[in-house]
Amino acid sequence: MMKLSTLKPLIFALFFTNITLAFNAQAFSQPQLVHTQNLVKANGKFVTLLGTQVDVGEQAPNFKVVDKNFAPIQLSDFKEQTVLISVVPSLDTGVCSIQTKRFNEEATKLPKNITLITISNDLPFAQKRFCKVENVDQVKVLSDSVWRDFGEKYGLIIKDMGLLTRAIFIIDNQGKVKYKELVANISEHPDYASALTAVKNIAPVIVIESNKPSEPATTEEK
């Protein structure tokens, strides 16, 4: 007959094994991400995008990413701003590097009520290094590598690669998607001119009030 001291570790082991199996079964039973095909190509072949596609006119889903210090950043942090989101697969590739530097340069020419964001699945360490080397300091470079929350909610995760597909989104100051470009081939550039024109037209015009006192009206002597 087994002693009680011998049975206790066995009971605990069986208990935790059952919890683990139940947790794994629950995880596997959760619904899979939506699969979208025939939208984007890589190396001449269509890739499968995971997540929910977002269309122009819809309310932009809030999402959570991290900055270079792993601090959480959400779309809701940019209230009353018109936000242009530049999505790239990886900053360490030629087109992605050019895309990010182009928007960084253009950011200096835009009014203060427009925020430019770059999002990729690069780790924050790599993003921080890239920004330092390339002097990228006008756009906010953020990472979706921790939760993949942005990629899932906007349907941008490339299946079997774990990267985000190249895209541009513009979200107005009411939180609605006003512009979307899924670049048809991830090795190609987005339409910079169209995106920049659109964001300027979408953002409300800033009225600058003059502090100069108005001069009193004068009457001519007759």
Q: Would you please indicate which residues are annotated as catalytic (active-site) residues?
A: 96
Distance CA 86, CA 190 (A): 9
Neighbours of 221 (CB within 10 A): 4
CA distances from 2 to 13, 16, 95, 175, 206 (A): 16, 21, 68, 66, 81
DSSP 166: P
3-state secondary structure of 132: helix
In this structure, are residues 76 and 107 in contact, taking their beta carbons and an 8 Å threshold? no
Q: What type of residue is 121?
A: N
Cα 129 to Cα 72, 124, 141, 193, 216: the distances in Å are 19, 9, 11, 28, 58
User: Do residues 178 and 197 touch, judged by C-beta distance below 8 A?
Assistant: no
Name which of 128, 55, 52 is nearest 63 in CA terms: 52
Residue 74: helix, strand or coil by DSSP? strand
